A and B are shown apart, each in its own frame.
Chain A
């Protein structure tokens, strides 16, 4: 049974969980002591878009042509159909197909 859950691995998971929980609860807790002025509100409002761009753009730029074409296809579907689900599926399909065909990138 001890091999199913190695104790050193559990300790590592516990530490990783602790820092992640601190991240998840910390921001909300901190805002208890920050007055939400119009300026702070503008900063919070800009967060979703800023996080999306910061997380996805380097992946897209460094992912090579297939990743870029697949993301462009996803954005195109999102613009034309306003359907997130279709956009994600299209992006994944374009990448999977291009790789199955052995295209470079």
Chain B
């Protein structure tokens, strides 16, 4: 994608509902498996099913829920709740960058239409929507339809896991831990636009690995992502892109 092409402003048309759902289809097995594994973990940690569903519906961040429940304190005090909040923030602050990148697309919508869908931002839904946007798409339903389906599947997924907790004690047995990184890797392949576009990715990877190695917790995600974006900002515009920016739409 060239950087100067101004894309169409967001609009709502039902044509994009089904394509939006199809685009997040690859996420569904992983979401289901991840939610089941999470339900099983919660059962082992003595949460009630009602509590699990409240968490699924409100926090709605798979990795952050997993990390928080694994680190759940024996006694909830103001300081242990603050620690949970900090943990959740380190895992979920990447959503900040994701919705920032949606402003050029959704920014033309009135706030009451733009903000509620952002509550459903997830890695997979956002990535699929960004790929659609990169190919020139502007229909807001594409993102919203996929986001709603992911949300509903996520809500349901914990129930069988919670009830089958004994069998799902080791989710790795079913390759659940591969689902998210495999989906990410699969999305990276079509995003490949030559080595120049990959320089920020390399910086992101090196920084993420270094931070992962040096610092505990999940700061590596935001550190790597920010480094990659800053790198892209510091790089000069490729000359051929500048020359053809007016009529390229890839």
Where the two chains meet, the residues of A that have a C-beta atom closer than 8 Å to any C-beta of B are 3-6, 8-21, 23-28, 30-32, 36, 38-63, 67, 70-71, 74-75, 77-79, 82-85, 87-96, 99-100
Contact = CB atoms under 8 A, between A and B. Distances in A.
B205 interface: yes
B100 A16 contact: no
Where chain A touches its partner, the secondary structure class is helix
B115 A25 contact: yes
Contacts of B181: 55-56, 59-60, 67, 71, 91
Interface string B133-166: 0100000000000000000000000000000000
B175 A91 contact: yes
Contacts of A12: 76, 81, 84
A74 B76 contact: no
B76 A9 contact: yes
B207 to A, nearest CB: 7
B119 A24 contact: yes
A28 to B, nearest CB: 4
Nearest to A75: B185
Contacts of B237: 38, 42
A5 B204 contact: no
B118 A25 contact: yes
Given A25-B115, A28-B114, A17 B3 contact: no
B233 A40 contact: yes
Given A9-B51, A71-B181, A28 B115 contact: yes
Contact of B3 (A38, A67, A71, A91): A38
Contacts of B1: 45
B224 A88 contact: no
Contacts of B176: 92
Contacts of A13: 51, 54-55, 58-59
Contact of B178 (A23, A45, A70): A70
A8 B176 CA distance: 31
A50 B200 contact: yes
Contacts of B107: 31-32
Contacts of A27: 95-101, 103
B183 interface: yes
B106 interface: yes
